[in-house]
Structure formats: C-alpha cells, structure tokens
Structure 1
Amino acid sequence: MNRKVRNVREESGNIGIFILTRLLAALLIGFFIWGVLPPAWKDVLKAGPWPLIAGAGGALIVVAAIVRAGWGRREHKRAHERVARVFREATDAGLQKRSALWLIDHDRTFPQRLADAGPRLMDVLIRIMKTDKEKLDRARAANGLGVLGDPQAIGPLLGATNDEYPYVRAEAALALGKLRAVQAEKRLRELVEDDWDPGVRGRAKEALHRIAAQSD
C-alpha cells in the first residue's frame, strides 16, 4: 500500500511539473511573438477580440497536451502491466530476456514499478549480463541492475567491469556508482587509470563521484 501511495504522489508531482512547463512555454512563445510584431499590428490586436481568442487558443493547446500526456501514461501503464505479467509467467529464457529488458528500458524513470515483475527480475538481468551473446543486451542488463538498486548485484557488476566490450564495462561501472558500492572503489579507480576506452573512464569517474557524495 505504501508503495502504491508513493507511486501516485510521484506521478502527481510529474503531472504538475508537466502542466507548469507547458504553461511557461506557452507564455514565453506568446511574449516572443508579441515582441516581434510591428506596432501597427499590435494596435489592431489590442482593439479587437484577438487577445481573448489567443488566450483561449493557448489554453486549448495546453489542455490538449495534458489530455494527450494522460492518455500516453495510461497506455504505458497498461503495457507495463502486460509485460510484467508476461515476465512473471515466462519459462522460456528468450521471452524472459525480452520482457525483462523491455521493463528496464521503459520504466527506468520509475524503478519502483519494477517490483511488479517480481524478485526474479534481478536474477534474469544478471544472467543476461554474464552470459548473453549480444553485447548491447549485456550493457542494457548492467544498466538495469543499477536502476533496480539491489546491493546483491554489486558482485556480478564488478565482474562485468572486465567484459571485453567497453559499453558493458561503462554501464557496469555507472551501475556500481548508482548502488554507492564503496567496495568497488578500488576497481573503479583502476578503470579510470588503465582502461583504454574514454567512455569507460568517464563512467568510472562519475561512479566514484557518486560514491564519494554518499560519504560526505
């Protein structure tokens, strides 16, 4: 119940931010257009019903954007529920992989929703990261483990920092930073100093900053 209440509050906050940004954007556009109009046009607009028409039009645009965003959120929620159910019921490794990566890719901004997939999600992501032949999928799985935030993934993520593919190493390093894995500091420093790939070095440095920020 607490998790559901927290989800509603977070989504309500996001809706409020969405409405505010749309209103601000409409105001800024209106001020810009007004600023570039010739004085004669401004006089004509002031004399007629155009300010009211423009205001009503702007309000309709904002309302339409809000309705569209709400519809999109509902569609995404339904899709999430379907895929989470598929993942929970799947016994085929390929189906588990596809549904797990979909959940991670589409719900990374709301990691609390991933609890709907059940406790098996972390195990499947670790399996993908360790053994999958597709290097991009290994990287996506490493990223997903950082999103989940379970410290049990620290050991496998440390192992993934030795992956032959630099993008996997980079995502594993960043995930360790998200997990505030103090025990990974030595390995992360090695990556900063020795890894040939600048992306890996950058992610490892970012991870060290995240860990240091926790201890401050």
Structure 2
Amino acid sequence: MRRSQSGQVNFSAIILLLGIVITSVWIWKRLSLDTQEYLIDQAIPIALLGAALVAVLVLSIRAVRRTRSRLRNRNDLLALFQAEQAREKKLEIAFLLIETNRYALKGIESVAPAMKELFTTTLTRALGEKQHRIRGMAASHLGVLQDRSVVPLLVKALEDDHAYVRSCAALGLGRLRALETRERLMAVMKDDWDQTVRSRAKEALDRMGS
C-alpha cells in the first residue's frame, strides 16, 4: 500500500514538473525579444541571487535550531549526570554528554573533575575480556578533559592487551597534545601489530605537530 502511494505521488510530481516546463516554454516563445533579453540580463540573475539568499537564510536558521537543540540536550545530560548516583549509569551519561558536546570541554567544565575520577577509575578497574570497550572509551574521553595528570595512565594503557584500548589511549594522548609522549607514540606507530593502533598513534603525533 505504501509503495503504491509513493509511486502515485512520484508520478504526480513528474506530471506536474512536465506541465510547468511545457507551460514555461510556451510562455517564453510568446514573449517579445526585448522581454526575453531583459529577463536574461536582469530578472533571472536577480531571481537566482534571491534564491541563493533564501537558501543561505534557511540553512542558517536550521543551523541555529540544531545548535539550540544540542545545547538543550547537553544541559539535560549535565543535570542527569549530576543527579545520577549509580556508577554504571553515570558513566553511560558521561560518554553521551561528551559526544553530544562534540568532544569539547567548553560547556561541561563544571563536571570535568567528576568525569576524570569516573574515567580513570573505569580505565584501571574495568578488567576482563568483556570490558575492554568501556576501558577504551574511558581512555579516549579522558583526553577531552584536558587534564594532563592522566598522561601516565594513558601511556600505561598503550600496553593494554586489547588493541581497541591501545588505540583509544593514543587518541586520548593526541587530544591532550601530550608532547612528552611523542617518542612512545612513535614506537607504537612503528611496532604495534594492529593497523588501527598504528593509525591512531600517527593521528596523535599529527595533532602534536610532529
């Protein structure tokens, strides 16, 4: 039923478009040469400029709306993070909050210390085969907080058994622009057996300008 309705709508749109084209051509042929020249030289460029301005305005309005929506979501998540007591749920909200804030610290500074404690504890205690993704996310998100006291912890995470954690640790160091870890990252870029880890180490070095 839905496919049938969609087909009917598309067919109707095609008929309407053809009708507009045919009518436009019919009207154009009946215009005087002077009128046609005027339209080509003046009216059409003005119309195109107006359409471009309208498009820019529409895109700007949409961008503003998206930004406002994102800020509302961020504020809601901030409130949830501060109110949540369960550690696992708080960690989940913290990850989502940073992602919603486009991996930037600005706007979430008030909860950065609490996030640091949560991420560092997670990175050191979320052990076992099934928790490597949580460790990895904690490592990469630590870099967003711009607290250089976690650099030794992230360097240690470069030796994790799981490639995902090592790649996230490299990402976190890159976000921190921890220049003192360049030699260690260069070694990872050359020697790690996992392609993703080597790529992340290179990205981190590129961020540092090496």
Counterpart residue type for residue 145 of structure 2: L
Q: How far does residue 122 in structure 1 lie from its aligned partner after superposition?
A: 1.0
Q: Determine what percentage of the aligned residue pairs are the same residue.
A: 30
**Which of 144, 148, 154 is the matching residue for 1:147?**
144
Q: How far does residue 134 in structure 1 lie from its aligned partner after superposition?
A: 3.8
Question: What do residues 43-73 of structure 1 show as CA deviations (whole Å, max 9, x unaligned)?
Answer: 5841563322222222111111101110111
Provide TM-score, normalisation by structure 1.
0.68
Q: How far does residue 125 in structure 1 lie from its aligned partner after superposition?
A: 1.7
CA distance in 2, matches of 1:162, 1:195: 10
Show structure 2 runs of 5+ residues with no match: 1-35
Provide TM-score, normalisation by structure 2.
0.70
Larger radius of gyration: 2
Counterpart residue type for residue 158 of structure 1: V
Q: Is the 8 A contact 1:174 1:207 kept in 2?
A: yes
Count of aligned positions: 173
CA distance in 2, matches of 1:192, 1:128: 25
**Which residue number corresponds to residue 52 of structure 2?**
58
In 2 relative to 1, CA 44–147 (structure 1 residues): closer, same or farther, beyond 3 Å? same
Matched, 1:76 2:76: no
**Which of 164, 185, 188 is the matching residue for 2:185?**
188
Matched, 1:124 2:121: no
SS of 2:156's partner is helix
CA distance in 1, matches of 2:186, 2:137: 23
SS of 2:75's partner is helix
CA RMSD of superposed structures (Å): 2.6
In 2 relative to 1, CA 81–203 (structure 1 residues): closer, same or farther, beyond 3 Å? same
CA distance in 2, matches of 1:43, 1:170: 63
Question: What do residues 78-97 of structure 1 show as CA deviations (whole Å, max 9, x unaligned)?
Answer: 11011011111211012211
Q: How far does residue 168 in structure 1 lie from its aligned partner after superposition?
A: 1.7
Question: What do residues 13-62 of structure 1 show as CA deviations (whole Å, max 9, x unaligned)?
Answer: xxxxxxxxxxxxxxxxxxxxxxxxxxxxx958415633222222221111
Show structure 1 runs of 5+ residues with no match: 1-41
